[in-house]
């Protein structure tokens, strides 16, 4: 982040002076060492930048409502804080700070099984709800402990080593709460997930698990419409990857997602200002989403569809 003339080196601006998530990235860069910042820097923005909105102003939007029901839980807005492993790498408050910040913004948080603190300690702060994220091979004892602690769903991140439906079915049946599959990138996978009783799917590529140039894999937003068409509303779809603005959230919703996960911007807020920073990041996204929905003449999530976006180039 460039220095402003006369600005003290490494200055961290007060949280209420920051007006978008990218400014929080700049603050996080000043706070973190190079290795930690490298884990959460940047992101693939190509797909979002190819879309623009078609505004419609002659619509009464005074009844604007961002709320939705997702897996039996009422949400204030369709923006969830995504899982981050070992959050203590980014701030001393770690997952406790993530849960507090998410709760302050009335947002559900996804807590990783690779938490820096006992999961129950972080979960106690997650008053807006929480999911528990696991990887293939994590023990059922770990899952059971999360369920006993009150998690609303289990979020299983698929691996690049193939899909073992027997193992997935075992987790779903044993947990007693909805199972969400994260890492779905094709209509075929999504349809198969619905057949196996999966509660929801997260459209997400494997860039975090195996970093590659941005042009190597399709962006989640690019494959979202095909997955939404194949599922035809059978189960909810979430999108993970590249969300940086409220307009990005709206684009994902318009193309078929029920909600989105936000991880890197949440970490930027946590790293720079603790729980208050993460809360501010989520609230900025919520406010921007509301403004853009009103500008498009769509006051509720159910009123959204692809007619409000124009694809400039794929």
Instruction: Identify the pLDDT of residue 161.
Output: 81
- Euclidean distance between CA atoms 53 and 88, whole angstroms: 38
pLDDT in tens, 182-226: 999 999 999 999 999 999 999 998 655 445 555 678 999 999 999
Is 22-60+73-298 a CATH 3.20.20.70 domain? Answer: yes
Instruction: Identify the pLDDT of residue 160.
Output: 75
Instruction: Identify the pLDDT of residue 210.
Output: 47
- Is the predicted pLDDT of residue 130 greater than 90, yes or no? yes
Strand 309-311 and strand 51-53: pairing? antiparallel
Instruction: Identify the pLDDT of residue 235.
Output: 98
pTM, to two decimals: 0.94
pLDDT in tens, 150-168: 999 999 999 878 789 999 9
Domain boundaries, the chain: 22-60+73-298
Instruction: Identify the pLDDT of residue 311.
Output: 82
Mean pLDDT rounded to a whole number for the chain:
94
Residues 281-297 have a mean pLDDT of 97
Instruction: Identify the pLDDT of residue 221.
Output: 96
């Amino acid at each position: 982040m460039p220095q402003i003339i006369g600005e003290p080196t490494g200055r961290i601006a007060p949280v209420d002076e920051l007006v978008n998530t990218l400014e929080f990235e700049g603050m996080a860069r000043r706070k973190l060492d190079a290795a930690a910042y490298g884990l959460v820097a940047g992101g693939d923005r190509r797909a979002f930048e190819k879309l623009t909105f078609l505004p419609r102003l002659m619509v009464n939007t005074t009844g604007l409502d961002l709320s939705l029901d997702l897996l039996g839980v009422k949400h204030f807005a369709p923006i969830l804080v995504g899982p981050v492993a070992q959050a203590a790498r980014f701030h001393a408050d770690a997952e406790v700070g993530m849960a507090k910040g998410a709760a302050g913004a009335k947002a559900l948080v996804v807590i990783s099984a690779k938490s820096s603190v006992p999961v129950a300690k972080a979960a106690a702060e997650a008053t807006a709800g929480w999911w528990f994220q696991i990887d293939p091979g994590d023990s059922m004892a770990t899952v059971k402990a999360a369920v006993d602690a009150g998690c609303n769903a289990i979020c299983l991140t698929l691996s690049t080593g193939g899909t073992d439906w027997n193992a997935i079915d075992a987790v779903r049946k044993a947990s007693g709460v909805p199972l969400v599959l994260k890492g779905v990138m094709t209509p075929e996978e999504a349809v198969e997930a619905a057949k196996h009783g999966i509660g929801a799917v997260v459209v997400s590529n494997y860039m975090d698990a195996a970093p590659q140039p941005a042009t190597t894999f399709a962006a989640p937003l690019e494959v979202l419409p095909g997955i939404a068409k194949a599922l035809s509303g059978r189960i909810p779809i979430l999108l993970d990857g590249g969300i940086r603005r409220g307009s990005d959230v709206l684009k994902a919703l318009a193309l078929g997602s029920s909600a989105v996960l936000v991880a890197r911007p949440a970490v930027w807020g946590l790293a720079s200002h603790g729980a208050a920073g993460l809360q501010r990041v989520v609230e900025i996204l919520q406010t921007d989403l509301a403004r853009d929905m009103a500008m498009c003449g769509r006051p509720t999530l159910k009123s959204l569809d692809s007619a409000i976006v124009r694809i400039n180039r794929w």
